[in-house]
Structure 1
């Protein structure tokens, strides 16, 4: 998989919102992208947070724990430690980072 060009979401997000199981390999790809803090990782983090708000039956307990870990370890502000390639200056990213941190 070319991680930089990975799609920002998962095709079965609507199914997850109904409590149907998601394809775990796709969620793990998003986790890898978010962990690497590539540019636009905030869009992938939004998908991961949406999965956390989905019914518990959509994720295995192990995968839910992986998603939670990735979200808690994510950088939401420029002054957080770590190396990243994320754009945080444009208005749309500023709004999304603030919303993600709040959620």
Structure 2
């Protein structure tokens, strides 16, 4: 857990640093922290593991792939042209950072 936490913190800090450093060049740097989605990768897990993962999501469901795609589309859109160095939370209330 320590290595995962350290890596995650590093990505979030790098997002903030690069967002600030590249803002003057009109380059946005943002991150997305999605909850798991019910995709084919979950087929590699046991049902008990999937149930455990789902139990960690306060919204009580996995994120839909379409929801993640819509968030990414917004993050890249002109409507979001001012934001940089941000982390967009798509975790269903699960994110802790």
Normalised to the residue count of structure 1, the TM-score between the two structures is 0.26
**Greater gyration radius:** 2
- Bigger relative CO (Cα 8 Å, ≥ 6 apart): 2
**Higher helix fraction (1 or 2):** 1
**Higher strand fraction (1 or 2):** 2
Normalised to the residue count of structure 2, the TM-score between the two structures is 0.27
